[in-house]
Structure 1
Amino acid sequence: MPKPGFKSITISEQVYEKFYDVYEKNKEKLTMKGVNSFAGYITYMLEDSMLKDKTFAKYAPKLELMSIEDDRVILKNNIQNRIAEVVFQRGELYCQLCEAKDCHCIGYVWSIPEIYEKLNSKGLRNHR
């Protein structure tokens, strides 16, 4: 029985072990973010996932992913009926269509899990 104010969920041992392995490998970094337990890590991951889904849902009808290359992402911007090219340069994302470092195209790119993971591994963080 969980403590008052908490709920429990059931997941497979395989899924549990994958998450636990990642938690153990990144424990020091996670502690610096205020994540002090495995349950806290799972909560952190769920909240992060919900935030990404919210961003994706907000922009997905207006933007479509066309391709991902090494240092660029090509989008179809249905708002402006144009192609947007978001490039990784000088340690940050830059949208060549909007000529900006912080636009809806950049927000959409951050919501793409493959890109998010790649940028995160390079130490780049979404500040939205």
Structure 2
Amino acid sequence: MVLSRDAKNVTLSSAVYPRVKARWEQDLDVKPSQTNKTFTGYINDILISVLEKDEFLETKIPGFDLIGHNSKQMFIKDAKKSKIAEIMVKSSKLYCALCKSNDCEHVQYALLRPEITKLKSDTVMLF
């Protein structure tokens, strides 16, 4: 791929590079028509996707903000209710302690966040 004069360089850490490279190679094999043929283009596609997801969350679910997370819970600030929702895994399902529900808007928001993968549990049944 020939870079334009406006292109900028970005450095990937030694831990990230092999993971992304392996995923790109896998995607090229499994879904070649949907995968950018160049590694640089693939990384650009991923970054654009992340930005678009963040923009979607900001516009479609306004008033929610992930303010913290650890291996056991996520904390979501709900500006409309002026409260903080604690999301955790309970009985193998995501659970909102604020709403006392497995299917409230806080749980749905949590499912859209990439940090959801940080929650540790033997089994999480999403549906």
The TM-score normalised by the length of structure 2 is: 0.57
Unaligned runs of 5+ in 2: none
Q: Judging changes above 3 Å, is the alpha-carbon distance between structure 1 residues 50 and 25 closer, same or farther for their aligned structure 2 residues? A: same
Contact 1:59–1:108 under 8 Å retained in 2: no
Please state if 1:10 is matched with 2:7: yes
Give the match's secondary structure for 1:70. coil
Contact 1:55–1:107 under 8 Å retained in 2: no
**CA-to-aligned-CA distance 1:15-74 (integer Å, 9 cap, x gap):** 5x9876443222344233532522441243033212322134236751233431212112
Please state if 1:118 is matched with 2:118: yes
Q: Judging changes above 3 Å, is the alpha-carbon distance between structure 1 residues 42 and 19 closer, same or farther for their aligned structure 2 residues? A: farther
Q: Judging changes above 3 Å, is the alpha-carbon distance between structure 1 residues 28 and 14 closer, same or farther for their aligned structure 2 residues? A: closer
The TM-score normalised by the length of structure 1 is: 0.56
- Counterpart in 2 of 1:63? 64
Please state if 1:44 is matched with 2:45: yes
Q: Judging changes above 3 Å, is the alpha-carbon distance between structure 1 residues 88 and 51 closer, same or farther for their aligned structure 2 residues? A: farther
**Whole-Å Cα distance in 2 between the matches of residues 60 and 36 of structure 1?**
30
- Counterpart in 1 of 2:102? 100
**Whole-Å Cα distance in 2 between the matches of residues 60 and 70 of structure 1?**
24
Give the match's secondary structure for 2:71. coil
Identity of aligned residues (%): 26
- Counterpart in 1 of 2:82? 81
Superposed CA RMSD in Å reads 4.0
- Counterpart in 2 of 1:23? 20
**Whole-Å Cα distance in 2 between the matches of residues 26 and 13 of structure 1?**
19
**CA-to-aligned-CA distance 1:80-105 (integer Å, 9 cap, x gap):** 23331111352x5333434134x432
Unaligned runs of 5+ in 1: none
